[in-house]
Amino acid sequence: MKTNNIILIGFMGVGKGSVAREVIKHSKYMTIDTDDLIESMENRKIKTVFAEEGEAYFRKLEKNVAKWLESSVKNTLISTGGGFYKQTNLKKIGIIVLLDSPFDAIIKRIKEHPNAAKKLKKRPLLADLKKAKELYDARRPEYLKLADIVIDVTDKSGEACSKELLKKVKKHA
């Protein structure tokens, strides 16, 4: 059954939240974010969940979110955490859109942001950039394999990306 959902996947810091906020300005979609759902379920920040419970616990929460998205969510733009793509029911949730960019461009984007320190601090898996690059290299082929639509976001504004996304989703439907 068609859910009319769009799932945004991609590496940490690539701009999934910013693109989602632009898409809702230019369309009838509502948007939710899997990390925000987890933070409200847990009443604590993702970095605290990682620190207090460990990553495996966080991944279980992502699984619960994925089940709920499949059973209950329609007509929504779903922005996901960078590791959410591992959920096995992703295809059943909606059209998968990958926001893609080289690792160095992603780190540059984060570092140039006025809230750079906060953006780095809230992401435990970015604490060690060498490890983060290894994670990126391991994940990128998997992201590309899963994606129905790929958008190269390098050096593009959120608005330009959102227009490209809406155009490509319309064509895909």
Interface with ligand S3P by CB under 6 A: which residues? 12, 35, 46, 81-83, 123-125
Q: How far is the CB of 1 from ligand S3P (least distance, A)?
A: 27
Q: Could you give the CA distance from residue 103 to residue 12 in angstroms, rounded to a whole number?
A: 10
Cβ closest to ligand S3P, residue 46 vs residue 169: 46
Q: How far is the CB of 98 from ligand S3P (least distance, A)?
A: 12
> What value does the CA radius of gyration of the chain take, rounded to a whole number of Å?
15
The strand pair at 76-79 and 149-152 is best described as unpaired
Cβ closest to ligand S3P, residue 12 vs residue 69: 12
Give the single-character DSSP code of 85: G
Q: How far is the CB of 42 from ligand S3P (least distance, A)?
A: 12
Q: How far is the CB of 173 from ligand S3P (least distance, A)?
A: 26
| Residue among 163, 159, 138, 148 nearest 15 (CA) | 159
Cβ closest to ligand S3P, residue 12 vs residue 169: 12
Cβ closest to ligand S3P, residue 62 vs residue 162: 62
Cβ closest to ligand S3P, residue 141 vs residue 170: 141
- CB under 8 Å to 139, separation ≥6 — which residues? 11, 82, 83, 85
Q: Could you give the CA distance from residue 146 to residue 138 in angstroms, rounded to a whole number?
A: 14
Q: Which two tokens stand for residue 73?
A: 């969510």
Q: How far is the CB of 110 from ligand S3P (least distance, A)?
A: 9
Q: Which residue is nearest to ligand S3P (CB)?
A: 81
